[in-house]
Homo-oligomer: A and B are copies of this chain.
Amino acid sequence: MKTSILMLTLSALSVGFSAAAEPIKIIQPAKITEPDKVELGKMLYFEPRLSKSGFISCNSCHNLSLGGVDAIPTSIGDRWQQGPINAPTVLNADFMLAQFWDGRAKDLQEQAGGPIANPKEMGFTHELAVKTVASMPAYREKFAKVYGSDVVDIDKITDAIAAFEKTLVTPNSPFDQYLAGDEQAISADAKAGYDLFKGHGCVACHNGPAVGGTAYMKMGLVKPFHTDNPAEGRKAVTGKDSDNMVFKVPTLRNIELTYPYFHDGSVWTLAEAVNTMSDVQTGQQLTAEETTQMVAFLRSLTGDQPQVVLPVLPPSNEVTPRPQPFTN
């Protein structure tokens, strides 16, 4: 392993390319140090009984078969309520400086508690979520093993979910292989697209291992971004007018999978997304060839998707709160 990294480094140096100097960094696979907690978190991530209806789990809107998103403009919540904003991907989400488009949750654990209790999402309460999980002996045994006590609380539930989510990293994309020194890993178009991506200033926001997620930025920086979506972005958190339409910069990792694009989910193709962003954020128009190259670069950011064995969940029993799918 050490030898092969050394060889790749030497190979990269030999073509005058230093990964260390690039604004986009190789993304490293997650190191799993607490496998029992991760396994418990996976169960809870797929647990539809954390919702009022018994039908919606974390995976419903952050579907690990679909790049960690639901691939619709805004999500479907309890009783088919329409969500206010496009569901961001859970993949590589731990690399974000904060969670949600407006960064209102400081980390994955804080995020995980939000949808459970949001009346428009899972529609449940933390109290009922805890009661549900605690009702099942198989869960209590796992909590005891992981936390040293079988007392279930919402902090443990969200901590375990976050531990699972931290493992959802997608390394080894063609672009990472290229950064590691494999010149053949991406096409000439993708290389030209990467040069454009840097040259046009996209890397000012989309940088680091997640190619984003390290800053907040105004959507419509040089020209207004037109949308019907009423989301105010950071303003909703800080109360400052200057934060209106300022959102967390999304990751571009696996962007080919996480359509439709933008916080309003209004754009379905990478070509249109690239052209819109170039226009409203940098004021530059791309030629058709440049768009093709930029899209080729973005497609090279699709990494190895997590291999997830579907958890088998313990059965409800007499004391488990019953789902209420059709009652108000």
B307→A309 contact, CB < 8 A:
yes
Residue of B nearest to A54 (CB): B72
State the oligomeric state as a number of copies.
Answer: 2
A305 and B316 contact, Cβ closer than 8 Å, known pairs A48-B66, A70-B55, A72-B53: no
Q: Is the interface of A mostly helix, strand, loop or mixed?
A: loop
**B contact residues around A311 at 8 Å (CB):** 65
**Once bound together, how far apart are the Cα atoms of A315 and B261, in whole Å?**
13
Q: Does A256 contact B (CB under 8 A)?
A: yes
B76→A315 contact, CB < 8 A:
no
A315→B256 contact, CB < 8 A:
yes
A308 and B305 contact, Cβ closer than 8 Å, known pairs A82-B326, A322-B268: no
Chain A, interface size: which category?
35 or more
Q: Does A259 contact B (CB under 8 A)?
A: yes
Instruction: Identify which of residues 86-122 in chain A touch chain B, using a CB-to-CB cut-off of 8 Å.
Output: none
**Once bound together, how far apart are the Cα atoms of A87 and B46, in whole Å?**
19
Binding site for B on A (CB under 8 A): 46-49, 53-55, 60, 63-67, 70-73, 76, 79-80, 82, 256-257, 259, 268-269, 305, 307-313, 315-318, 322-323, 325-326
